[in-house]
Structure 1
Amino acid sequence: MLIVSASVPAQNFYPPLPKMAVADLKEDIRILKKVLEANHPSLYWYTSKDSIDYYFETTIANITDSLNEVEYKNRLSKLIATIRCGHTTVRFSKAYGKIANRYRFPQFPLALKAWDDSLVVLGSAYNNDSIFKRGTIVTAINGRSPVEILDTLYQYISTDGYITNHKSQVISGNFPGWYKTIWGDGDSIYVIQYLDSLGQEREASIKAYRPIKDTIKKQIRDTTPTLTRREIRKLRLLNKRSMLIDTLHSTAFIRLTTFSGGRLKTFFRRSFKTLNRLSIANLVIDLRENGGGNVNNSIDLTRYLINKPFKVGDSIVAFSRRMQYSRYIKPSFIYWLAMNFGGKKMKDGKIHYRRYEQHQYKPATKHHYDGKLYLIQGGYTFSAATMFISHLQGQSNVKVLGEESGGGYYGNSAMHIPKITLPNSGLIVSLPLYRLVIDKSRLKGRGIMPDITIKPSSQAIREGYDIKLREVRRMIDSSR
């Protein structure tokens, strides 16, 4: 059996995380249930009240001993995931956030890409790793198959309805962290089954990764160039939005990672002015990293591209704007004001966001884009980004490519999202206040299904090319 390792001295050890008393942990869950019952608009949208009550009661009953914050967060995350709301998630306390890096290592040493029933190596923490190269297919870790691993991790991740692709993307973003959080760091060596270059199943062991604290800091100092404030601001903007134009192929590529910040209204106006001036025939918008953001920015971009009037949704409702448990909700007063001045109580007894329900947004008359439009989506495509794509899918000049979106096609719970801070543990739970139904005629519980499905592949990962962008380029070339 081969063993992959490196000569890595041990990191400084810290004392174990403190335990919290059983009574305090149970009280936090009871408080959380009361807050959700009072203000969550979709607590029983996918899961019946009887089932939600059962999950809360069972979680409380199963706490028979004190727990540290990681252990408790796992219990709470698994509980909250049963609501099936992607905007209702559990975060560590602010206090833990300040010390989290102390407990980051040792950890599983491989970054893995997850999808369907597959795990593929993206990289190894060991520079001398000649076995687990990028693109290697993993068939088991410590006797657990990819299906077993993913099915277990999925239980701790919130998502809209029954969309697992979002969960896969979240896991891919930090597989070592997820593995450590759920299975702990008791394994000093991991036994991994994998497929070699000939497709034969092999087995090798790899040591848990534990770097030197001082080495990490030194590497950061040595590799981080000195930048001016202006350069830093520019990089931050580029990280949120950018556009590249290939005039030879009359194609523009926009990468948009958020609908918040980034001076997006100005960016959109200048970008579409340029596209029209250059008569660009093809526009590719990459939304695979876009988790949503400001609805108004999503509307603004839609207006440059859509060919008919549209509204945000069929219904945007809250069941109450009274915040009975405001002492746990932050910032409660700001959201109370927003709901009282922006919402209207209707005959059905619900609070309606009437402007978004009624207002018909018209296509932009200036700099409107009418060329071929390719929208790339994936599991991270969420919330306002899902809303944006859903308004455009089906238009004659639009093709949606990639994987199922992470956000719900039918709708979601969002708009205003304050935070619940639990008094004893300090854990933070996000609380959406409005339920958005984009189109009541759509299928409920799934994301946007692409017109052209393009899954990840081990070959693309191994050879280092973007399989989705490659397919878009092929489509554009073949249409010329």
Structure 2
Amino acid sequence: MKYLITLFSSLCLMITATNAKASQDSSHLRVFSVQELLNDYDSLHKIITDNHPALWADADSLATEQRWKEIRKKINRPMKRWEFIELIAPATTQYNDGHTALTYDFDFEEVEQLIARNGKLFPYRVKLYDDTLWITENWKDSSSLYRGMMVMSINGISTKDIVARILPVVPADHHRMREASLSRLFPFLLWSLYGWENKYEIVLQDPYQQSSTTIHPEGITMNGFFQRQFPRKKWNLQLFKEQQLAVISCSSYNNYTEAIRFIDSAFAVLQQENIRHLAFDIRNNGGGNSSIGDHLLAYIAQQPYMDVYSKTLRNGSMMRRFKENSGMYRVMQNFIKNGIQHGNHYTMRFETKGLDTTIKKENIFRGQFYLLTGPVTYSSAHMTALSVKSSGMGTIIGEPTGERIDLTGENASFTLPNTQLYGYCSLAVYEGAIADKKSKGVQPTIFIPFRPSALLSEKDPVIEKLMQLIK
């Protein structure tokens, strides 16, 4: 989603805006004609099929085209644009590519209106796993109240039915990542599709005492949701001196300068404290600038390594929109000049990746390295996992990453002509440096699945396993 890149800046703009713009621009209230919706739908189909470099890597071409036709037949009445998203988003998510979608987003005018009227969202962090929905954090009072309880229904609709309605609009590379994305965005998506806000009737079940209870909490504001689900602090260093262990956690590869400064200072601390075990926790890292992950791994790797064998760019209509002074234009011209051409696809093959030479070499880490991953580990963070897996430079603990081994990227945004809905489409595909192409995500060395029982104990099974390994 676009929030992966512009999340915080968009939020600030929305919160500080007055509702003057909203009163003038009523596109969120407008009902679009069938012909307008059909034109947008056909534009969406053309954009994706004309620009994606590997659209059918994990989907059947005939079946997906048939799905487009079936959905088109359902555009038979005027709709508001968010109704339209729910109907047509499954046409894009069927390709199992989290970098290609038309979906609900935080930048839309509908969200501005929610903020302007102080509308409130579902007030709990949740975890979806195998069609069951669990409360993992109580955002109303930050207590452990209801933690570890299973959500049975919301406002009279069963969780099973709610999940079945929301999942098809969530872009993802595989099912576990789709579950993780829904979990992360559940309050927002619940409001986007159902329109529920402010007050909720929630039926909860204690799976161990086999008892149920009904609660009626008020919601939290959009600002509150952002602060809790996407905190500003992206990096953290935790020391366990007795175990000679350090855990560096990172939730996003953004703000390159700040990230490099943190990494350099963290490895100075590791050297000073004589740390022998280091874990890098990217279980909640959705990606960003891959150079940040490369900088950290340069402190770990003893020799050059690989993350991808090749990169292919498709020189389609969206690629040709980039201006001559843009970085993407220059990259495409380099691929055209030096790459291997197959139609409008251009491929560059790579040798081993050289180590980042800007690190503080006196602080190179020579102890045991562990990488903690999960289904939210995506895009550039997934590339970090590819590097560790292919080189064997560390032990991976947790769940598989959220992306296919041959990942996509360089996604560019587009806007539909009538509804002004926007989406994004991958323009590049990378060949991951792992022979096993069928696995859904980079597979951990030690698999630690989600267990609802861990929610009650408030313990982290992955960290517990890490401690056991060190002992």
* Cα gap change, 1:189 to 1:277, in 2 (>3 Å): closer
User: In the alignment, which residue of structure 1 is the partner of 2:128?
Assistant: 114
| One-letter amino acid of the structure 1 residue matched with residue 51 of structure 2 | N
1:402 partnered with 2:398 = yes
Paired residue for 1:157, among 170, 177, 184?
A: 170
Task: Work out whether residues 382 and 401 of structure 2, in 8 Å CA contact, stay in contact via their aligned partners in 1.
Answer: yes
> 1:142, CA displacement in angstroms?
6.7
Question: Where does 1:17-416 land on structure 2 (aligned, <5 Å)?
Answer: 17-90=29-102, 91-92=104-105, 94-102=108-116, 105=119, 108=122, 110-123=124-137, 133-140=146-153, 146=159, 148-160=161-173, 163-185=174-196, 190=201, 192=203, 194-195=205-206, 199-202=209-212, 204-207=213-216, 209=218, 236=232, 239-263=233-257, 264-321=259-316, 323=318, 326=321, 335-341=328-334, 344-349=338-343, 351-352=345-346, 354=348, 357-358=350-351, 360-362=353-355, 366=361, 367-393=363-389, 398-408=394-404, 410-414=405-409, 416=410
Q: Which deviates more, 281-290 or 270-279? A: 270-279
Task: Work out whether residues 125 and 183 of structure 2, in 8 Å CA contact, stay in contact via their aligned partners in 1.
Answer: yes
Paired residue for 1:435, among 418, 429, 432?
A: 429
Question: Match of 1:285, SS?
Answer: strand
Task: Work out whether residues 154 and 164 of structure 1, in 8 Å CA contact, stay in contact via their aligned partners in 2.
Answer: no
> 1:392, CA displacement in angstroms?
1.2
Q: Which deviates more, 418-427 or 386-395? A: 386-395
Structure 1 unaligned residues grouped into runs of 5+: 1-13, 224-234
Identity %: 20
> 1:274, CA displacement in angstroms?
3.7
Task: Work out whether residues 109 and 207 of structure 1, in 8 Å CA contact, stay in contact via their aligned partners in 2.
Answer: no
Q: Which deviates more, 279-288 or 51-60? A: 51-60
| One-letter amino acid of the structure 1 residue matched with residue 210 of structure 2 | Q
In 2: Cα distance, 1:393 partner to 1:440 partner: 8
> 1:81, CA displacement in angstroms?
0.5
TM-score by length of 1: 0.78
> 1:243, CA displacement in angstroms?
2.1
Structure 2 unaligned residues grouped into runs of 5+: 1-22
> 1:434, CA displacement in angstroms?
0.8
In 2: Cα distance, 1:34 partner to 1:78 partner: 16
> 1:87, CA displacement in angstroms?
0.9
In angstroms, what is the RMSD of aligned CA positions? 3.7
* Cα gap change, 1:102 to 1:300, in 2 (>3 Å): same
In 2: Cα distance, 1:243 partner to 1:382 partner: 21
* Cα gap change, 1:125 to 1:308, in 2 (>3 Å): closer
> 1:301, CA displacement in angstroms?
2.5
User: In the alignment, which residue of structure 2 is the partner of 1:471?
Assistant: 465
| One-letter amino acid of the structure 2 residue matched with residue 113 of structure 1 | K
| One-letter amino acid of the structure 1 residue matched with residue 62 of structure 2 | D
TM-score by length of 2: 0.79
| One-letter amino acid of the structure 2 residue matched with residue 469 of structure 1 | I
Task: Work out whether residues 321 and 340 of structure 1, in 8 Å CA contact, stay in contact via their aligned partners in 2.
Answer: no
User: In the alignment, which residue of structure 2 is the partner of 1:229?
Assistant: none
In 2: Cα distance, 1:309 partner to 1:195 partner: 51
Task: Work out whether residues 369 and 395 of structure 2, in 8 Å CA contact, stay in contact via their aligned partners in 1.
Answer: yes
* Cα gap change, 1:322 to 1:311, in 2 (>3 Å): farther
* Cα gap change, 1:448 to 1:64, in 2 (>3 Å): same
In 2: Cα distance, 1:303 partner to 1:324 partner: 32
Task: Work out whether residues 77 and 156 of structure 1, in 8 Å CA contact, stay in contact via their aligned partners in 2.
Answer: yes
> 1:467, CA displacement in angstroms?
3.0
> 1:129, CA displacement in angstroms?
11
Q: How many residues align?
A: 436
In 2: Cα distance, 1:207 partner to 1:325 partner: 53
* Cα gap change, 1:24 to 1:347, in 2 (>3 Å): closer
In 2: Cα distance, 1:189 partner to 1:281 partner: 49
User: In the alignment, which residue of structure 2 is the partner of 1:231?
Assistant: none
Task: Work out whether residues 32 and 79 of structure 2, in 8 Å CA contact, stay in contact via their aligned partners in 1.
Answer: yes
Task: Work out whether residues 307 and 433 of structure 2, in 8 Å CA contact, stay in contact via their aligned partners in 1.
Answer: no
In 1: Cα distance, 2:340 partner to 2:142 partner: 65
In 2: Cα distance, 1:390 partner to 1:298 partner: 11
In 2: Cα distance, 1:249 partner to 1:403 partner: 24
* Cα gap change, 1:97 to 1:179, in 2 (>3 Å): closer
| One-letter amino acid of the structure 1 residue matched with residue 376 of structure 2 | Y
Question: C-alpha deviations, 1:13-50, integer Å up to 9, x for none?
Answer: x9983322221111111112222222111222222332
Question: Where does 1:442-461 land on structure 2 (aligned, <5 Å)?
Answer: 442-444=436-438, 446-461=440-455
Q: Which deviates more, 67-76 or 462-471? A: 462-471
Task: Work out whether residues 386 and 434 of structure 2, in 8 Å CA contact, stay in contact via their aligned partners in 1.
Answer: no
> 1:443, CA displacement in angstroms?
2.4
> 1:271, CA displacement in angstroms?
2.9
In 2: Cα distance, 1:310 partner to 1:322 partner: 34
In 1: Cα distance, 2:320 partner to 2:74 partner: 26
Question: Match of 2:135, SS?
Answer: strand
In 1: Cα distance, 2:127 partner to 2:67 partner: 31
Question: C-alpha deviations, 1:99-151, integer Å up to 9, x for none?
Answer: 24357846555542212233222355766999x72221234557766555434
User: In the alignment, which residue of structure 2 is the partner of 1:9?
Assistant: none
Task: Work out whether residues 309 and 363 of structure 1, in 8 Å CA contact, stay in contact via their aligned partners in 2.
Answer: no
In 1: Cα distance, 2:413 partner to 2:110 partner: 17
In 2: Cα distance, 1:374 partner to 1:83 partner: 32
Question: Match of 2:441, SS?
Answer: coil
Task: Work out whether residues 304 and 354 of structure 2, in 8 Å CA contact, stay in contact via their aligned partners in 1.
Answer: yes
> 1:246, CA displacement in angstroms?
3.1
> 1:179, CA displacement in angstroms?
2.7
Question: Match of 1:194, SS?
Answer: strand
Task: Work out whether residues 379 and 405 of structure 1, in 8 Å CA contact, stay in contact via their aligned partners in 2.
Answer: yes
Task: Work out whether residues 285 and 381 of structure 2, in 8 Å CA contact, stay in contact via their aligned partners in 1.
Answer: yes
In 1: Cα distance, 2:353 partner to 2:413 partner: 31
In 2: Cα distance, 1:79 partner to 1:240 partner: 33
In 1: Cα distance, 2:109 partner to 2:197 partner: 24
> 1:429, CA displacement in angstroms?
0.9
Q: Which deviates more, 263-272 or 178-187? A: 178-187
In 2: Cα distance, 1:193 partner to 1:342 partner: 55
In 1: Cα distance, 2:84 partner to 2:76 partner: 12
